[in-house]
Amino acid sequence: MELYVRSDSVVSRVIAGETLIVPIRKGIGDLASIYSLNPVATTIWEALSQPRSKPEIAENLAKVFAADRQQIDCDLDSFLGEMESAGLIAATEVAAAG
């Protein structure tokens, strides 16, 4: 099973109700690459404070937002792909217990 978690090379802060993510490159914040998250993305980002699977994150989103599960899964895949490509999150494979 694949788990997603925030990268160690970013910092995030909530400022005036808006979640901002700043990548850290060579020990310095890359202010040219600040990411601002909407409420759905913020909910995902908060979930990624600990390693989580896509189904865990999708279930949390379904509890918080009134949306079709297929739309949630599609949006989640898109967000995770973009964040992973930007180096803001990391995916790790975990062997299934049993």
Query: What is the pLDDT at residue 30?
Result: 61
**Nearest in space to 46 (alpha carbons), one of 91, 81, 94, 89:** 89
Please report the sign of the dihedral spanned by the C-alpha atoms of residue 87, residue 2, residue 65, residue 16: negative
pLDDT in tens, 50-87: 999 999 999 999 999 988 999 999 999 999 999 998 88
pLDDT at position 27 is 64
What domains, with CATH codes, occur in the chain? 2-93 (3.90.930.70)
pTM greater than 0.95 = no
Residue 43 pLDDT: 94
